Structure 1
Amino acid sequence: MHQWISGDRLIQRFEEWAPKKLAYEHDKIGLLVGTLHKKIKKVMVTLDVLENVADEAAEKNVDLIIAHHPLIFHPLKNVRSDEGQGKIVTKCIKNDIAVYAAHTNLDLADGGVNDMLADQLGLTHTDILQPSFHEALFKLSVYVPVSHAERLREVLGDAGGGTIGKYSHCSFSVQGEGAFRPEKGANPYLGGVGALEKVTEQKIEVLVPEHLLHALIQKMIKAHPYEEVAYDVIPMQNQGKTYGLGRIGQLTEPILFRDYCQRVKEKFGLEGLRAVGSPDAKIKTVAISGGDGNSLIPYAKYQGADVLITGDIYYHTAHDALLCGLNVIDAGHHIESVMKQGVKAYLSDVIAQEHKDTEVIVSESVTNPFHFVV
């Protein structure tokens, strides 16, 4: 018998990777149409949700669409089944297709759209182009019998607790004596009701990033032998992981700008692109952001980029780039379609970990509104 993952659980796991708090203010992310309170037999990943995508999802019996660009960004004045976005919303509702969007939170996520784009170009030694914020850190301290200490450390580390830089499973332990008296109605792991029990315990401490805290505590409680788990959660002043827009990295060797434009075309399968700058300029340090990159000109220049690759650049911003000596490639917003395979891979891994049979597919519908006429 097939086992399907629930929509709630699938999105919960997805948001461990791209938590909503990473999204920019006023971004329209999350569930936009339908419900997640159902079993998901098939999920489809897409860059955009257009009418042809909704038709494809209905034809393929899709239960959930996960998109990068929100279907509903500005408030709808009406929902008409014969025109505009109302046609798409209506088709999704009629076919019981839920629509979920992960936009700027997926852009900023570690391994998200920005990193996928940098990987597609083969950039090395990548870093964040425009830092946005540092994630809050917490210290989790838990008291556990010595007999279960090693196992609990393993559970905490496997769940992401105690990751510091390039090191994982970092923890500190100190041994002492725990005491407790089970009261009437208790079902103690050690001791008896009404009797004071003293146990040799270890106090285990790990640092936990905010987005993992809730899930990690649940796993800790499940692995702990006690009926009531004694633990502390303490906010830290330490600087947590940095998140931000865009990436900057290095090419393995310098290349002329004219040649690099051709390489970008090939890597992203483009009909054409717009270039700003001297064809004879040498390119070694590359900045990239899949969406609107107009605000990133000063960041790219400050960090020493030779070129900024972006999905959208304005006419006058292109002039600003020329004035400051920064080359620019406008490769089109559709380069973010690289997220389709990346999200599929992540979801497939999650479903395998959950031991479910839900199928993940990538939309084959064309959603790029532009084509080149030469």
Structure 2
Amino acid sequence: MEMIKFLTPFRFYLNNICLQSCHVRQTVQLVGNQITLNRLHKSRKMSTCNTEEKGNLQKIVLKLNKLMPIALAEDWDNVGLLVEPSSPHNVSKMLLTNDLTPEVFEEAVNLKADMILSYHPPIFSPLKRLCQSDWKQKIVVKAIENRIAIYSPHTSCDSIKDGVNDWLLSAFDNESVMPLSTKDDPEFCYSHKVSLLIANGDHAKLMESLKAFQNVSSIFNVTTLEQEKVHLSFVCTKSAVAKIGCLLLEYNVENPVFSEIQKPPLPGVGVGRISKLGSKISLNKAVEIVKEHLKLSHVRVATSHGPDFNCDAENIKSIAVCAGAGTSVLRGVKADLYLTGEMSHHEVLSAIHNGSSVILCEHSNSERGYLSLLKEQLTTSLQEYNVDVCVSEIDADPLKIV
């Protein structure tokens, strides 16, 4: 955290802030507009209808966004409502799939589904045209023709508590589970902390003045010191810094410090997971658990420390997981076992020579089973809208071991 102190005389500095405050506000407003436009661009698929009755699609999307917040997705991802039929659009049947292939789309049509939730986004790279020669573009055209909405949660589901990665670990006897990297709370809007000294008789009046600012927290930390001084601190947004500086000119304050702060992390939310097991297990036992959990007859295994590794020895105490492609997420993580869908040849070599065994299940096999849990969650969440949620029976990983 970088500390920003007033090194010039305080009142001279604040007078400069006040003289430039209009410019500062315009700059912040411009930045705010850019942020808003970027967010609208990223989540343009989200509905903005709010007045007349438009069917229940918008209400369902709001529920989905609450359960799997778009703000928790990775920056490179494309999540949310991807195809939105013209209003009104009511959803009575929703089909869940890991990948939206032509075969799965035909399944949705035969089921008379009004909405498809595809874990992987069928629209990922920007589309410059919609033609029949490309299979993904063809699906989008058919979705529009058949008035079928398409929604994708992807990495939002990876990060949320009780999401894909927590499900992947749930088959083990976990003593503790933590994200490999955390996600900041998107609803925390404050960027700066202000701390100062003020006379005991003046701090209450200053606090009342600050409460009138919309971009200042209503929670104040107050500590009474000797010599009738009070230490006061609070948090605010970047746009409020100039206004607070002008306000402090009206009070006899000492040692004011403005410091940038980071957003607090959301507990249990983030990329990947690492588990400390309740008791050690062998690699063979871990393989058995994974195959049963994912309903697979085969997985690929690389043993730590080379061919002399004892697969029956109970030497696995920690497991790091990343559903899908775990190469970048698991790189450098200290764990006895890596569990993921796919890793490159060289990353597997690095893992086993750094002391981690590896289980690879193929990409979508490490994700698909989560859809059954998601179906239960959505059935409960969308109960008031009478939505029939079902999981695709055709969706499958394209790779087979023969």
In the alignment, residue 293 of structure 2 is paired with which amino acid?
K
1:372 is aligned to 401
Alignment check: 8 A CA contact 2:102 2:135 kept: no
In the alignment, residue 108 of structure 1 is paired with which amino acid?
S
Quote the Cα distance in structure 2 between the aligned partners of 1:45 and 1:18: 14
1:45 matches 2:109: no
Alignment check: 8 A CA contact 1:108 1:244 kept: yes
Farther-moved stretch of structure 1 (21-30 vs 125-134): 125-134
Quote the Cα distance in structure 2 between the aligned partners of 1:246 and 1:36: 37
Summarize the Cα distance change of 1:240–1:260 in structure 2 as closer, same or farther, 3 Å threshold.
closer
1:125 matches 2:193: no
1:288 is aligned to 321
1:337 matches 2:362: no
- The 5 Å alignment of 1:138-287 reads 239-242=264-267, 243-277=269-303, 278=309, 279-280=311-312, 282-287=315-320
SS of aligned partner of 1:39: coil
2:78 is aligned to 28
Q: What per-residue deviation string (whole Å, max 9, x for no partner) do you get for residues 13-59 of structure 1?
A: 11112111111112111222233742111111111111111001100
More strand by share: 1
Q: What per-residue deviation string (whole Å, max 9, x for no partner) do you get for residues 212-260 of structure 1?
A: xxxxxxxxxxxxxxxxxxxxxxx99772414321111133332221232
2:131 is aligned to 80
Quote the Cα distance in structure 1 between the aligned partners of 2:133 and 2:144: 14
SS of aligned partner of 1:287: strand
Quote the Cα distance in structure 1 between the aligned partners of 2:337 and 2:166: 17
Alignment check: 8 A CA contact 1:129 1:299 kept: no
Q: What per-residue deviation string (whole Å, max 9, x for no partner) do you get for residues 168-219 of structure 1?
A: xxxxxxxxxxxxxxxxxxxxxxxxxxxxxxxxxxxx98xxxxxxxxxxxxxx
Number of residue pairs matched by the alignment: 275
Identical positions, percent = 30
Farther-moved stretch of structure 1 (323-332 vs 76-85): 76-85
Per-residue deviation, 1:82 = 5.2
Quote the Cα distance in structure 1 between the aligned partners of 2:173 and 2:68: 23
1:107 is aligned to 158
1:309 matches 2:335: no
Q: What per-residue deviation string (whole Å, max 9, x for no partner) do you get for residues 273-318 of structure 1?
A: 11111335521211111121112334531xxx21010111100001
Alignment check: 8 A CA contact 2:93 2:387 kept: yes
Quote the Cα distance in structure 1 between the aligned partners of 2:86 and 2:299: 39
Alignment check: 8 A CA contact 1:138 1:236 kept: no
Alignment check: 8 A CA contact 1:126 1:248 kept: yes
2:358 is aligned to 328
SS of aligned partner of 1:66: strand
Per-residue deviation, 1:123 = 2.9
In the alignment, residue 10 of structure 1 is paired with which amino acid?
I
Summarize the Cα distance change of 1:298–1:237 in structure 2 as closer, same or farther, 3 Å threshold.
closer
Summarize the Cα distance change of 1:67–1:250 in structure 2 as closer, same or farther, 3 Å threshold.
same
In the alignment, residue 92 of structure 2 is paired with which amino acid?
K
Quote the Cα distance in structure 2 between the aligned partners of 1:43 and 1:295: 33
**Unaligned ranges ≥5, structure 2:** 1-53, 191-217, 220-259, 304-308
Summarize the Cα distance change of 1:341–1:122 in structure 2 as closer, same or farther, 3 Å threshold.
farther
In the alignment, residue 239 of structure 1 is paired with which amino acid?
P
In the alignment, residue 374 of structure 2 is paired with which amino acid?
V
- TM-score calculated relative to the size of structure 1: 0.67
- TM-score calculated relative to the size of structure 2: 0.62
Quote the Cα distance in structure 1 between the aligned partners of 2:386 and 2:186: 34
In the alignment, residue 341 of structure 1 is paired with which amino acid?
S
In the alignment, residue 363 of structure 2 is paired with which amino acid?
H
Summarize the Cα distance change of 1:247–1:102 in structure 2 as closer, same or farther, 3 Å threshold.
same
Per-residue deviation, 1:362 = 1.2
1:229 is aligned to none
2:211 is aligned to none
Quote the Cα distance in structure 2 between the aligned partners of 1:89 and 1:43: 17
Q: 1:16 aligns with which of 39, 56, 66?
A: 66
SS of aligned partner of 1:73: coil
- The 5 Å alignment of 1:59-70 reads 59-70=110-121
Quote the Cα distance in structure 2 between the aligned partners of 1:36 and 1:26: 27
1:170 is aligned to none
SS of aligned partner of 2:389: strand
**Unaligned ranges ≥5, structure 1:** 140-203, 206-234
Alignment check: 8 A CA contact 1:45 1:65 kept: yes
